[in-house]
Structure 1
Amino acid sequence: MRAILLLAVAGGVMLSAGFAVAQHQGHLGKADHSHMEHGAPVADTREFVRFPPGLVEHTIANMRDHLLALQQINEALAAGEPEKAGKIAEERLGMSSLRLHGAAEVAKYMPQGMQEAGTSMHKAASRFAIEAQNVGVTGEMKPALGALGQVMAACVGCHAGYRLK
């Protein structure tokens, strides 16, 4: 029961943090092409970011891996394995993962705000990894879940403001 409660709290934290970032960045109300308003499509007003074709595919593959890592982090937390969740976060999303993803090559094509969102996500993932490790000592899951919400908020904020082509 406690695990279910913690996952519910985590989901709420992630959703509210993502909403706050999107609202703060002024992207709420600027729906992407997948949203409908009163039955009619709403224009995608996200900033269009042009990458070289090979880097578009590379970047999208990295983002899909980020989503997979988030799923695996949630699965580890649900299984009561916060240390495993922290390890996944640091290796796949945290500051330690930048070289693995070729971040330096991709960053030069990103507008400043997109770079900042990416850096925010990577830093938040490293903070989550630390908080997840702390759970084993303190028994307190809330700080880890809050840090994971910040990871998701950075993702939501970036995807609400930018699109690749």
Structure 2
Amino acid sequence: MCKTCWTITALLLVAILGMAYKFIIQGSVEQASDGRLSLQLETTERDLVLGEMRAFLVAVQQINEGIVQDDMKKVADAARKVGRAAQEAVPGSLMGKLPLEFKKLGFDTHTKFDSLALDAEQFGDKEQTLGALVELMQNCIACHAGYRIDVVSD
């Protein structure tokens, strides 16, 4: 009887580890023909991710505008809109489909926007803000170079 319990426990553990790997680390991806990883998302999920990316782009434009206008409050406000608080809108079902490295890039990008906002408020140094923006944009480049989004049937 005990041998059966251990066998069932071992099988359950393997199943749980397999699911954890699939939903936490690997996500729902395939190798794309262009060398990037293709995120396999439903239409609404794709729209959410692309909407977040457009919000990043708008924030970058507003940050640049604030720097040119010497308006660091505008810089901070724009950056904060896409900081960590913005990622709370991402549903858990979508998070399970995203590979770990993509999630790390996303979390780091939100965090960098928050840091940029804080630095702009505290220091008001345009050069420092530009340097932070250059570093932040490396995340955008890495993401677009490594991933694409394809829609799977809804």
Do the structures match in fold with TM over 0.5? yes
2:67 match: 77
Measured after TM superposition, the shift of residue 52 of structure 1 is: 1.7
AA at the equivalent of 2:107: T
Return the alpha-carbon distance in structure 1 between the equivalents of residues 91 and 107 of structure 2: 10
1:94 match: 83
Return the alpha-carbon distance in structure 2 between the equivalents of residues 128 and 145 of structure 1: 9
The answer (yes or no) to whether the contact 2:63–2:79 under 8 Å persists in 1 is: yes
Once the two structures are superposed, the pairs formed by residues 15-164 of structure 1 within 5 Å of their partners are 44-91=34-81, 93-99=82-88, 101-102=89-90, 104-136=92-124, 140-164=125-149
Measured after TM superposition, the shift of residue 103 of structure 1 is: 5.8
The answer (yes or no) to whether the contact 1:89–1:126 under 8 Å persists in 2 is: yes
Percent of pairs identical after alignment? 27
Higher relative contact order (CA 8 A, sep 6+): 1
Return the alpha-carbon distance in structure 2 between the equivalents of residues 108 and 152 of structure 1: 25
The answer (yes or no) to whether the contact 1:89–1:128 under 8 Å persists in 2 is: yes
Return the alpha-carbon distance in structure 2 between the equivalents of residues 104 and 159 of structure 1: 22
Return the alpha-carbon distance in structure 2 between the equivalents of residues 103 and 80 of structure 1: 37
Partner of 1:50: helix, strand, or coil?
strand
Greater CA radius of gyration, 1 or 2?
Answer: 2
Cα gap change, 1:77 to 1:58, in 2 (>3 Å): same
Encode CA deviations 1:31-54: one digit per residue, 9 max, x unaligned.
xxxxxxxxxxxx621111101221
Return the alpha-carbon distance in structure 2 between the equivalents of residues 75 and 119 of structure 1: 25
Q: List alignment gaps of at least 5 residues for structure 2.
A: 1-32
Measured after TM superposition, the shift of residue 106 of structure 1 is: 3.0
Q: TM-score, normalised by structure 1?
A: 0.65
Paired residue total: 118
Instruction: Please tell me the root mean square deviation across aligned C-alpha atoms, in Å.
Output: 1.7
Moved over 4 A (4+): none
Partner of 1:160: helix, strand, or coil?
helix
2:16 match: none
Encode CA deviations 1:88-132: one digit per residue, 9 max, x unaligned.
1012x2112222x42645322111110111011011111111111
AA at the equivalent of 1:81: D
Q: List alignment gaps of at least 5 residues for structure 1.
A: 1-42
